[in-house]
Each structure stands twice: as C-alpha cells, then as structure tokens.
Structure 1
Amino acid sequence: MKITARLTAALLAVVAHASAMAADPPSYGDLPGAADHALIKRFAGSWLAGQRTSNWDAAAMPSSVELSKSDKRQFKDTPLNLEGKVTQTVYIAPRGKSNLEVWRNYEQALNAAGFKKRFACERDCFDLYFAWLKLSDPMKGMVWAKGYVETPSSGRYSLGSALSGDEGRMLVGTLGKPGQEATVLIYNSLAANATTGLVATYVQVVEPKPMETGQVTVDPNALQAGLVAEGRVTLTGLFFDTGKTELKPESKAQLEAMAELLKNQPTLKAWIVGHTDNVGGFDANQTLSMERARAVVLALTAAPYKVDPKRLSAKGLASLAPVAGNGDEAGRARNRRVELVAQ
C-alpha cells in the first residue's frame, strides 16, 4: 500500500508539472507585437522576451562610475534624470553564446554607429548591479517580460528575473544625430544564473521628446476644495525641465487657476512649497525646491496676474516630506511636486 501510494503521488506530481508546463506562455519566441528599437538591433539569433514602451515618461540612468574606498564599484555624481519616449527591451541570446561574445558584438555595433560612451563596466560589476537596482530597478516592473528561461535539466526561471549580477556588464552613452541624441543603457548578464547557460541583454533607450500638453484643465474650485479638505493642494499643472527652475509655458493653465482662486479668496494667504525626490545631494535639492517655489511666486505676482506679493511666500523642503516611497521612478515622480498650502 505504501509503495502504491508513493507511486500514485509521483504520477500526480508529474501530471501537475506537465499541466503547469502547458499553461505557461511559450518561451523562445518573440513577444507578439514587439520589435527591435530602430537604433539598436538584437544580437543575431536572440529572441525578444519582453518589451515596454512609454510614449512619454521619466527614467533615471547612472552617469558615471568610480571605485569606493573598499574597492567596490559605485555610481558617481548625480544620475541622469531623463524625460521622453522610453523603450525597455529584454533579449535572450541563443544557447551556447558567451556573455562576452554578446557584449562585444553590441559594443562594436554601437561604436560603428557613432556611440558616445559615458562609461562602461566590463568586469567585477556585481556591486554596480545592485547599485543600479537601487537607482532604478528595471526588474521591479518587468511583468511585461512574459514566459521563462529553462536550464538544460528542465529547470526554469521567470523572465521577470532574467537579469542578474552574474557576469554583469553595463554600458551607458548617447546615440543619434546632434540635438536628437537618445540615451542608451545596455546591460548583459547570465540569464537568471549560471545554470541556464543563457545570456540576457537589457536595452533601454530614452529619446528626447516633448510631452503632449493641454490634456488637463484646472478648475479653481478644485483647488479651493483641496484647501478646505486638507489645507494644501498639489499643483499638478506646473511643469519644469529636469533639474531646472524655470516654469515651462504649459504651466499657464495652472497659474491662471491659482490666480483666479486668489482673486476669489481675497483674504487667503498661502505658502508655495517645492518638493523633490531623494536623488542627489540634499543641499542641491533644497535649492532646487526653493527656486521652483520662488519661480511660481514670481509668475503669480507679475503681469498678467499681479497677485499681491504679501499674500505668497516660497518655501523649499527638498525631500523632507515625501508622499510616496523613493524606491522606484513612480514614487519619485510623485514626490517631485509644488504645493499650495494655506497659511
């Protein structure tokens, strides 16, 4: 009876495993609807395992590398905070190809196309890999990489974790015509780990592109409702270039709504408060948040709005009052804001 029971259990396990195999999406085939980016073609014979394209978004990329006092590689200086069209693609190279062979082919092709390198890490990049995850974790949102990679012994790993620190290599730079240069990050590693015998390549391209504007209208009544409910309201219609303090022209609708609110509430005095994420030095962020708040005050007190300067005061809080975690770009984007706070 014990042998029969064990045999039955083993057979059930095999059937369950076979059912799970059948239910999984097929591997080793391009993701339907996805294609190589126009600037960078894949390593010959690779399959496109996952891709996500955002018509306009923000992306953080490392800008340079240095050795720490303990001889560990780490990112140096402020990261590149980019905005534009963002394309992320993951490839799996044919079995039998080494990571170095894949890496050298990408490197040679990019150099031949006029690639301008910011930095490269070709060996001992394990620490840099984890620093990259802290800066902008590409795997946290890699639900768009469907399927799995298999080991020769029929083990499997989700494509969502295809990148690893094993034999990791990274390259960052720009490609394209002057004034239209895209920023490119290439990361190669063993796919999941050494047991797969496969190489994964992550390609991220950020192309400069203006954001489509005029998609949001601002109602002064909504601002007033926010002040009544919470004593403050986030001014989502104010726009600045990355790292800059000048208001962009598409901020006009938000400024008009603020001016209308202040006109309708003649006794209202307000703080204009700037906030940043935690990327970069605190002092620099403090200055950036203060100068952005001051830019809003100056815009409202000048023509055509001419709000009494005594009614508005600018403050900068840097990253001291986050409304979301700074662990990913979505949270950092929410933290970069300007608020109207009733005094």
Structure 2
Amino acid sequence: MRIIIASTLIALTMASGANAAEPQTPTTDLPGSADHPVISRFAGSTLVGYGQTDWAATELPGAGGMSKTDRRKFADPVQAEGRLTRLFYVGPAGKTPLEIFRNQQQALAAAGFKPRFSCELKACYDAYFTLDKGARGKSMDWVKGDLVGVKGSYKGSRWPLPMGLSADEGRMLAGTLTRGGTALEILVYTSLAQNEYTDRAASYIEIVEPKAMPTGQVTVDANAIAAGLKAEGRIALTGLFFDTGKTELKPESKAQLDAMAELLKSQPALKACVVGHTDNVGSFEANEKLSLARAQAVVAALTAAPYKVDGKRLAPKGLASLAPVAGNGDDAGRARNRRVELVAQ
C-alpha cells in the first residue's frame, strides 16, 4: 500500500534545476551519536536522528498488537522505564526496506531476541500511525537536511527528515533481549523513507534498559511534612531508603530524618505513628514483619543521638500491603506502595 498525498508532494517539491548543486539526502552521522551496543546499523546506513535519556518512560506494543476498538492504540501496551535510546537511520540508496528489516530480524534472533509482536506491510498500517512519531521525534536531535527525491517526476523534491518513516512497506518488531541478567525492551520499525521517490529505506529503533532509578534526590522537608499532616493527617516520607527486603536505613536517609526531627522539635505536642508499607510481592506475614521492622528502624533512629526525640511521641506500625496508593500490577505501582508514612495522632 502506497500512501502518497499528492498535494503534500507538490507543496514540498523544489526545482533542482534552479540550484547550482543538486540537493542530497544527508550521508553524515549526527555529531555525538552512536550505534547502540546491542544492535548495529545496516551496512552503509546513516544515523541521522538520535536521543538518549538516562531515565524516561515509553509505551511499546504488547503481544496483542493494535486495539480492536481503537486502531490507533496498542491493545495491551507495555510501559517501559529506564535508560531510553532512540535511533533513526536512513539506509543506503537502492537498498529496500525488506532487505534491511530481514537483516535486523536475523541479527536480533541470533542474539537471543524474544519477539512479542511483529507485523508486516498491510497488517502494519495501524502500527505505523500508533507509533506516535511526533512525540518520539521531538525527543531526538537531527542532522540538518532533507530526504530528497532521486527519481520520477519528484526528482529533486524534498521531504522532512525527522521521523521520515512511511506506512509504505512498513514492518515492525517488538520484544525483549536479555543482557547481563536484564531484559532490554527493543522496538524496530523499518519502511520506505517518506516514499518511493527517495529510493531509500528508514529505520527507527527504540531501546529501553531497565535500571534502578537514582534515589536520594527528593526529601520532604519539615514545612512540607507539617503541611501534609495538617491537610491529610499523614504524609509519605520519600527520603527514607532501604535495600530490598532489608530493614536497615541507608545513609542517604539522613536528610529525611533531619527534617522529621526538626518538625518534631518545633511541635513538642505532636505525637505520631510511623507506618511502614510494602507491595504485595511475597507472603503477607513476611511483608507485615518487614513493614513493622522498617517503621521501628525509623523510630529508633529518631530517638537516638543526635535527634533524641522522646520515644513516647512515636509509635511504629506495619501495615504490609493493606493500604496501597497504586496498583501492584507493575513496577511503578509497587514502587509507590513501598513507603513509610508519618501519621498524626
């Protein structure tokens, strides 16, 4: 299926005869860009678009592909978070999208890639529009220049380079590749570069490497704790940190303990419960013990030097997974549920 809007082509056409030099599709990589280690480029391709974020979220197709009720949405999208890399390649002149995609497919399979969803040609039409190219493209840097027509009546015409994919000859592949015990999410979409007149293929590749989000960056200060207690009677203390399954406070919790102690000293009549919460992974009995032990660790820290808060003012409690603030169906929800709260009495 060729999706070519004639009016758009005419509007973008530029007469090459008027120029001293023929316009050309860029053949030099974007400065500062690089192939991702898990998948190299098709030989002769140019890396013209690139973006990398140390911590970001993206939506990828699940096994169900496109929604049956809304063909512009994934049926069961996978929400992936971590180090996000986006790459856009323009293939060498004369190489078809099929040849490039089959090479990508074979290279990934040889590396142990586990496909979750794939589509080709007409079956990939909805996937092309669901990809949300505009939002993805805006997160990337791009080489200056255009995709240039080299044949037919549109020779010398120009089309925008950023996310210059097409529904024509489109093929998509999404799944996971395990490296070093971590499952990387990978998405590949290859098609004609805008249309048949450029005589080139384009490939968009997205890779998410799950990783622990940097912690210790946000602390609820004394004023925020006071405001939370006044407004809702409780507040989550985001600056308290424990290793998985452990009850010892990590050193980076000091700033949060400082703020709690400051509040308690400024309000000598305040009494509160320190309440530990967990997600629902594991048995309830184990989580109940863990949540209580973590609350006890916080109370112990506040009643010891240098804070020396009166222990009668703080009561440790453990609620395990009984009071979630988010669903436990994904990592993001479970992370929100693992928390310690201060509850006014």
TM category (shorter chain) comes to 0.5 to 0.7
Alignment of 1:1-343 (within 5 A): 27-66=26-65, 69=68, 75-83=74-82, 85-123=83-121, 124-133=123-132, 137-142=135-140, 144-147=141-144, 148-152=146-150, 153-177=155-179, 179-214=181-216, 216=217, 218=219, 220-221=221-222, 223-224=224-225, 237=239, 252=253, 256=257, 259-260=260-261, 263-264=264-265, 265=267, 266-267=269-270, 301-305=295-299, 307-308=314-315, 316=325
In 1: Cα distance, 2:75 partner to 2:98 partner:
25
Provide, for residues 65-118 of structure 1, a one-character-per-residue CA deviation record: whole Å limited to 9, x for no partner. Answer: 2465579586333514232x2221110001212111111111111112222212
SS at match of 1:75: coil
| Contact kept in structure 1, 2:223 and 2:263, CA below 8 Å | no
- Identity over aligned residues, as a percent? 36
In 2: Cα distance, 1:240 partner to 1:77 partner:
33
Instruction: Give the direction of change, closer, same or farther, for the CA distance of 1:67–1:207 in structure 2 (3 Å limit).
Output: closer
Following superposition, the deviation at residue 54 of structure 1 comes to 2.1
SS at match of 1:165: coil
Following superposition, the deviation at residue 26 of structure 1 comes to 8.2
SS at match of 1:102: helix
Provide, for residues 167-199 of structure 1, a one-character-per-residue CA deviation record: whole Å limited to 9, x for no partner. Answer: 322111222446133221111122233443321
Provide, for residues 274-297 of structure 1, a one-character-per-residue CA deviation record: whole Å limited to 9, x for no partner. Answer: xxxxxxxxxxxxx99xxxxx9xx9
Unaligned runs of 5+ in 2: 1-13, 282-287, 301-313
Structure number with bigger Rg: 2
Following superposition, the deviation at residue 225 of structure 1 comes to 8.0
Tell me the matched-pair count.
289
| Contact kept in structure 1, 2:62 and 2:74, CA below 8 Å | yes
Following superposition, the deviation at residue 57 of structure 1 comes to 3.1
SS at match of 2:162: helix
| Contact kept in structure 2, 1:218 and 1:257, CA below 8 Å | no
| Contact kept in structure 1, 2:185 and 2:207, CA below 8 Å | yes
Provide, for residues 121-146 of structure 1, a one-character-per-residue CA deviation record: whole Å limited to 9, x for no partner. Answer: 12321212223329x9422423x123
Provide, for residues 23-77 of structure 1, a one-character-per-residue CA deviation record: whole Å limited to 9, x for no partner. Answer: x998221112222111111111111102112233333322222465579586333
Question: For residue 89 of structure 1, what is the amino acid of its counterpart?
Answer: L
| Contact kept in structure 2, 1:65 and 1:75, CA below 8 Å | yes
Provide, for residues 292-334 of structure 1, a one-character-per-residue CA deviation record: whole Å limited to 9, x for no partner. Answer: xx9xx97885432384479x9967488xxxxxxxxxxxxx99x
With normalisation by structure 1, the TM-score equals: 0.62
| Contact kept in structure 1, 2:55 and 2:81, CA below 8 Å | no
CA-based RMSD: 5.1
SS at match of 1:129: helix
Question: For residue 205 of structure 2, what is the amino acid of its counterpart?
Answer: V
Unaligned runs of 5+ in 1: 1-12, 273-286, 289-293, 319-331
Question: For residue 127 of structure 1, what is the amino acid of its counterpart?
Answer: D
SS at match of 2:172: strand
Question: For residue 44 of structure 2, what is the amino acid of its counterpart?
Answer: G
| Contact kept in structure 2, 1:63 and 1:75, CA below 8 Å | yes
Instruction: Give the direction of change, closer, same or farther, for the CA distance of 1:70–1:163 in structure 2 (3 Å limit).
Output: same
Could you tell which deviates more after superposition, 220-229 or 55-64? 220-229
With normalisation by structure 2, the TM-score equals: 0.62
